[in-house]
Structure 1
Amino acid sequence: MDLVAVERGQLIRQEALRLGFDDVGFAPAEEIGEEAGHFKRWLGRGYHAGMDYMARNVAKRTDPRKLVEGAKSVVVVLQNYMPPRNEKLESGLKLAKYAYGRDYHKVMKKRLKKLMSFIQSDVDTAAEGRFFVDSAPVLERSLAIRAGLGWRGKNTSLIHPRLGSFVFIGEIILNIELPTGKPVKDACGGCSRCIDACPTNALMSPYQLDANRCISYLTIENKGDIPESFKGRFDGWFFGCDICQDVCPRNWKARPHKDPDFSLRTEFRDMTREEWMTMDENIFDDIFKGSPIRRAGFSGIKRNLKFVTEDQSQPPC
């Protein structure tokens, strides 16, 4: 191993942790072979549903060097967002934990920008690159796996041995050599809790998620009506869904985050179901400023709230 690369990695890791990231690893900037095949088969089956953007720039998604000319390494950071066990909405409605607080894109990009500046000033003045947080055609989980930060769970989420799966992923693609992470063994074993718990059968088989049936897709990315065939299955989830992660034993022992940026907003926690249902667009714009919930839009949230309210009055099929 190149000692210079090792020293660079140590400096970057120390600074990343100081900035508030919960773990960091390094992957080579090269074509992602086996994962690329898995991704292309997923697309071929139409499991990406209406997310047409996933089928674009496939070459860039599977090779970081096509995003950053001269790229040699990828710094991959993880940010824990696991909330305290008792943190939930008083209304009984359910919101994906990643949307409890501030928009993670903004929080993490700010930290990655600082990390990039540190690399260029204190690690290698010749360093050049780009940083991303779910904002470019990058197979983030695949890079995290290659960086030794966990394995792909049967629910398709990245599972970190210590942090579990409630983690945000960010990366910096660089033109300098860094040490390569060691693979983490898949520890799902014979467990199938995530597959068994999915109320819409979106997990077709281990490691195979059909977004057409996924509550997260249907309540966020989906721009049309939610199919009537899913009535009685949402159990109050109106933006995203954490069921397959909540039942994962790896998350039962994970420690909650200590970052106020990701804590449940007081407005979200205290709103009554009636207030959720009757809010107008002005209230929506005010309450959800700086929140990832804005991705679904006002009409999308109203659609979801109407669906889950009717949904909870009907028995599951």
Structure 2
Amino acid sequence: MLSLKERNTKLIKSIASDLGFDFCGTSKAGFLEEEAPKLENWLKKGYHGKMKYMENHFDKRLDPTKLVEGAKSVVSLMYNYYPEEDISKSDSYKIAKYAYGKDYHFVVKDKLKDFMSRIHQEIGEVDGRVFVDSAPVMERQWAAKSGLGWLGKNSLLLNKQRGSFYFLAELIIDLELEEDGPIKDYCGTCTKCIDACPTDAIVADGVIDASKCISYLTIELKDEIPSQFSNQMEDWIFGCDICQDVCPWNRFSKPHQEPLFKPHSKLKELNKRDWQELTQEVFSEIFRKSAVKRTKYSGLMRNINYINNA
């Protein structure tokens, strides 16, 4: 006969599956001891570039019980966004696959709210918070701790069955659950992601100098992009998928089943000239509910002009 903890864990995983999450793992909430010196060193070396917010909430970033009082478990979830068609293969500018459709913050957050409602219905009063890339939570580290994969040399979570094209999300709750535990690293001697990165942003196994990363340069950086990268952008104007596209584990990626992640019909039709002549009006229409809005029209045009003038 299952214990209460085992029964609740089974129920949580069943709800995750019902809501369309491909993988669900659980860990005991607590201080991420191994991560503390790594994070401190990363910040000390300035690898976070101008993302000053990364320096904030150091303790909360490492300990979810400081983020959610009374937290006992971290439930890590993976939601697939791998598209049916890779738009970046066309002769045009490129945007990261995660930004093809509706902004994942809204799509996944809605699912997490449903998740908490289901927990209340089926288990009872459970306190906690839900997160999708929206707070100081070390989501990749928690997903790895929960056995959903391992951290690859490109620092992303790699899942043995389905690769890395996944949004990660968490429930941090005051419910005791069974711990899944981590799995081994299956990268071996492969260095494809390191070799393929045009800006040499992967400075050590699992360590990214974000200030050199194309995703950072095209999204997070609000200043002018430094001239040193002028011939290294490979037509990426919002984010970058290079280190994922070359990863052998992504040969197992399967197209997502989320209608909201389908790209706007006009997005697939844009050629380089269309992008260069993009108006604020067309930008607002195509990217109305997209993560691309983060750069704003001015930021996207800055990226296009930077590449165009290289």
Give TM-score scaled by structure 1 length: 0.94
Q: What is the rounded CA distance, in whole Å, between the counterparts of 2:248 and 2:262 in structure 1?
A: 22
- Trace 1:47-126 onto structure 2 (pairs within 5 A): 47-84=47-84, 86-88=86-88, 90-123=90-123, 125-126=124-125
Q: How far apart are the structure 1 equivalents of 2:266 and 2:88?
A: 12
- Whether 2:3 is the aligned partner of 1:11: answer no
Q: Contact 2:92–2:270 (CA<8 Å) still a contact in 1? A: no
- Cα distance in 1 for residues equivalent to 2:266 and 2:54: 34
Are residues 251 and 149 of structure 1, via their aligned partners in 2, closer, same or farther at CA, if it must alter by over 3 Å? same
Letter in 1 for 2:222: K
Check 1:86–1:301 CA distance in 2 against 1; reply closer, same or farther (3 A cut): closer
One-letter identity of the residue aligned with 2:179: T
Aligned to 1:267: 266
In structure 2, the residue matched to 1:248 is: 247
Contact persistence 2:149–2:157 (CA under 8 A): yes
Which aligned pairs between 1:1-317 and structure 2 lie closer than 5 A? 3-84=3-84, 86-88=86-88, 90-123=90-123, 125-311=124-310
Residues 1:85 and 1:266: Cα distance change in structure 2 (over 3 Å): closer
State the Cα deviation string for residues 169-222 of structure 1 (Å, max 9, x = none).
111110010111121100000000000110001111211100111100000000
Which residue type is aligned with residue 112 of structure 1? L
Whether the aligned pair in 1 keeps the contact of 2:194 and 2:200 (CA below 8 Å) is yes
Inter-CA distance 200–248: structure 2 relative to 1 (3 Å threshold): same
Q: 1:235 to 1:88 in 2, by over 3 A?
A: closer
The SS at the match of 1:176 is coil
Root-mean-square deviation (Å): 1.5
Instruction: Label 1:287 to 1:95 Cα distance change in 2 as closer, same or farther (>3 A).
Output: same
- Residue 238 of structure 1 contacts residue 301 of structure 1 at CA under 8 Å; is this kept in 2? yes
Report the residue type matching 1:39 in the other structure. L
The Cα shift of 1:309 comes to 2.0
Q: Name the CA distance, whole Å, in 2 between partners of 1:78 and 1:150.
A: 10
Q: Is the 8 A contact 2:86 2:97 kept in 1?
A: no
Local SS of the residue matching 1:177: coil
Report the count of equivalent residues.
Answer: 310
Q: Secondary structure at the match of 1:143?
A: helix
Letter in 2 for 1:166: F
Q: Deviations over 1:154-181 (max 9, x none)?
A: 0000111112111101111100101111
Q: What is the rounded CA distance, in whole Å, between the counterparts of 1:245 and 1:287 in structure 2?
A: 25
Give, in whole Å, the separation in 2 of the partners of 1:56 and 1:29. Answer: 20
Measured in 1, the distance between the counterparts of 2:118 and 2:301 equals: 43
- Structure 1 unaligned segments of length 5 or more: list them: 312-317
Task: Compute the displacement of 1:85 (Å).
Answer: 5.2
Greater shift after overlay, 177-186 or 214-223? 177-186
Report the TM-score when normalising by structure 2.
Answer: 0.97
- Deviating runs (4+, > 3 A) in structure 1? 85-91
| Structure 2, unpaired ranges of 5+ | none
**Amino acid of the structure 1 residue aligned with 2:293:** R
Larger mean Cα displacement after TM superposition, 33-42 or 140-149: 33-42
* SS at structure 2 position matched to 1:120: helix
C-alpha deviations, 1:29-83, integer Å up to 9, x for none?
A: 1001102221121111110001000110010000000011100001111001112
Q: Is contact 1:147-1:183 (8 Å) kept?
A: yes
Contact 2:23 2:79 in 1 (8 A): yes
Contact 2:144 2:183 in 1 (8 A): yes
How far apart, in 1, do the equivalents of 2:34 and 2:40 lie? Answer: 10
Q: Is the 8 A contact 1:203 1:209 kept in 2?
A: yes
DSSP 3-state at the match of 2:34: helix
Q: Is the 8 A contact 1:24 1:78 kept in 2?
A: yes
State the SS of the aligned residue for 2:130.
strand
Partner AA of 1:17 in structure 2: S
Q: Residues 200 and 233 of structure 1 are in contact (CA less than 8 Å); yes or no, is this contact kept in structure 2?
A: yes
Identity %: 45
Q: Is the contact between residue 93 and residue 271 of structure 2 (CA under 8 Å) also seen in structure 1? A: no
**Structure 1 letter corresponding to 2:156:** S
Contact 2:25 2:148 in 1 (8 A): yes
